[in-house]
């Protein structure tokens, strides 16, 4: 897999929120709809709220809303929001990192380098709006 289960769950949840931006959404609803364990999703939501990607509202009518436009959130952003260290600097064939083998690169170095570039391009250019795959709704306006 290109990224962790945590990132995958966060992306699924953000895509769900992107298609429901016109209302507050409870963690339970997202967990059920996306088949994500609720306690795990709660932790993800709190991290995303801390990063100011989501805003939470407490109380019986509370929930979460997406406050950053889905077209402005990339997969790489989500990886960073969740404090995951994402590096593709390891050698495809040998132990350790490519830079440790500078004198003699492995036979796969050229292909692996090109693939790494494509993966990083995918991660930095694919947005939550694309993942949601539908017209993204307007942001919910909390009544004052």
Within-domain flag for 74: yes
Q: Is residue 137 part of a domain?
A: no
pLDDT value at residue 135 = 52
* Residue 142 within any structural domain of the chain: no
Residue entry with tokens 């997969």: 75
Number of domain units in the chain: 1
CATH of the domain at 87: 1.10.10.10
In a domain, 138, yes or no: no
Residue 140 lies in a domain: no
* Boundaries of domain holding 42: 5-132
Q: Could you tell me if residue 144 is inside a domain?
A: no
Sequence-distant (6+) residues with CB within 8 A of 62 are 24, 26, 56
Task: Answer whether residue 93 shows pLDDT above 90.
Answer: no
pLDDT confidence tier of residue 144, bands split at 50, 70 and 90: very low
Give the range with max mean pLDDT: 21-25, 108-112, 136-140. Answer: 21-25
Does the reported pTM lie above 0.75?
A: yes
Place of tokens 């990224």: 3
Mean pLDDT of 24-51: 96
Within 13 Å and on the Cβ side, how many CA atoms surround 56? 15
Question: Which pLDDT belongs to residue 143?
Answer: 52
Q: Is the dihedral of CA 121, 88, 47, 62 positive or negative?
A: positive
Average pLDDT over all residues of the chain: 88
CA 89 and chain centroid, separation: 21
Select from 15, 54, 33, 18 the least CA-distant residue to 136: 18
Report yes or no on 139 lying in a domain. no
Encode pLDDT of 43-75 as tens digits: 999 999 999 999 999 998 999 999 999 999 999
Q: CA–CA separation, 88 vs 102, rounded Å?
A: 16
pLDDT at 19 > cutoff 60: yes
Query: Does a structural domain hold residue 143?
Result: no
Average pLDDT score over residue span 98-125? 85
């Amino acid at each position: 897999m290109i990224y962790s289960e945590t990132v995958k769950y966060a992306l699924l949840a953000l895509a769900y929120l992107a298609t429901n931006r016109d209302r507050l959404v409870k963690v339970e609803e997202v967990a059920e709809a996306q088949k994500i364990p609720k306690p795990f999703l709660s932790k993800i939501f709190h991290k995303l709220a801390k990063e100011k990607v989501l805003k939470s509202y407490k109380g019986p009518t509370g929930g979460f809303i997406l406050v950053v436009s889905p077209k402005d959130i990339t997969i790489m952003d989500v990886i960073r929001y969740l404090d995951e260290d994402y590096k593709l600097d390891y050698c495809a064939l040998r132990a350790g990192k490519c830079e440790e083998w500078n004198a003699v690169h492995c036979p796969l170095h050229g292909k692996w380098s090109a693939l790494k570039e494509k993966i990083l391009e995918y991660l930095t250019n694919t947005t939550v709006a694309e993942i949601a795959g539908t017209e993204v709704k307007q942001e919910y306006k909390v009544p004052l």
